[in-house]
Amino acid sequence: MSAAIAENKEKKKFWTMKRKRLCFIWGMLALPLLQWLVFFVYVNLDSIAMSFQQIDYASGKVVWTIDNYARFGREFKLLPQMRNAIKNSVFAGLNDALLAMISVMLAYIFYKKVPGRGFFRIVFFLPSIISIVVYTMAYKYMFANGGPINSLLQKAGMRLSDIPLWFGDKHWAFRLVLIYCLWVGTGYNVLILGGAIENLPEEVMEYSKIEGVGMLRELFQIVIPMIWPTLAVSFLGCITTVFTMFIQVDLLTEGGPDQSSQTIAYLINGLIKSSNANLEWGACMGICFTVIATPFIVVARKLLDKTSEKFGF
């Protein structure tokens, strides 16, 4: 009897509250940690290794070499597709910055309780809750031959032969992708930035009203500085967009005529999909652009952090 009691006490000593807490924490972290190790650590390490390889898929022979990096150095400026992809990617980042500014202005207008704000909130947020595939199909239909855009232009007096092919026109394809990004992205950004504006101290906003501060001055001198930490995250996302924009191009244009709407991410994805022989080259491009992007992101983060310390509340 005494031995059983002693054994039970020993178990209680071992299974302390601290150990129970640790087991619970590690139990919750186990699956996310495993996913991170497999889908981030392993995938990235494998990509780095592959970028130094030339693989003969017929024989399975692997040759370790730096030829892929030498090729990247040669073709970075010379390959027309590369130049076009970089240009489009930069415009995509600038488009995201424009989206952030438009979203701030719309969020501020909704905050000021303008007439019809409820209706416009639904209109702007609707694309964010509809499936991207459905919304993409609707957007493409708008510019189809029998779509509303062409019909309106014809009613306005334009001949059908003068109307662009839109997604089939290399001058218009990527522009329409950028417009699509503005349209789809506005709702989510307005929701986030609107929440930040709603949380501003009422005393500050009341004081600006008493002082007779106009809406434009209030927006740029009071609201934007005070929500700057939230807005800074959006601007940081503009840099990542330069190197990651892919799905919009893939769904809307599939690269566009003469690959006119390619971005860096789409170009790399296309190289990987085209044939197994391009896997190592695609991995090399991914690593090189990561190295190029990292300093920009780090510097931008430092600058935005410094400005965030001055502003906000």
Report the pLDDT value the prediction gives residue 276, as an integer from 0 to 100. Answer: 53
Report the pLDDT value the prediction gives residue 13, as an integer from 0 to 100. Answer: 65
Report the pLDDT value the prediction gives residue 81, as an integer from 0 to 100. Answer: 75
Report the pLDDT value the prediction gives residue 100, as an integer from 0 to 100. Answer: 92
Each residue's pLDDT tens digit, 81-114: 788 888 999 999 999 999 999 999 989 988 887 7
Q: Number of helices (H) and strands (E), helices first, in the chain?
A: 16, 2
DSSP string, 123-145: HHHHHHHS-HHHHHHHHHHHTST
Give the rounded percent of residues in the chain with a pLDDT score beyond 70. 91
* Higher-pLDDT residue of 80, 215: 215
| pLDDT beyond 60 at 157 | yes
What is the average pLDDT value for the chain, to the nearest integer? Answer: 84
Report the pLDDT value the prediction gives residue 313, as an integer from 0 to 100. Answer: 55
- The mean per-residue pLDDT over the stretch 43-53 comes to 91
Domain ranges of the chain: 2-51, 78-310
**Helices (H), ranges, the chain:** 2-14, 17-36, 43-51, 67-78, 80-111, 117-129, 132-142, 148-155, 173-198, 202-210, 215-218, 224-226, 228-244, 247-252, 264-274, 279-310
Report the pLDDT value the prediction gives residue 277, as an integer from 0 to 100. Answer: 55
CATH for 78-310 (3.40.50.1820, 1.10.3720.10, 3.40.50.410, 1.25.40.10): 1.10.3720.10
Each residue's pLDDT tens digit, 278-313: 788 888 888 988 898 889 888 988 888 887 666 655
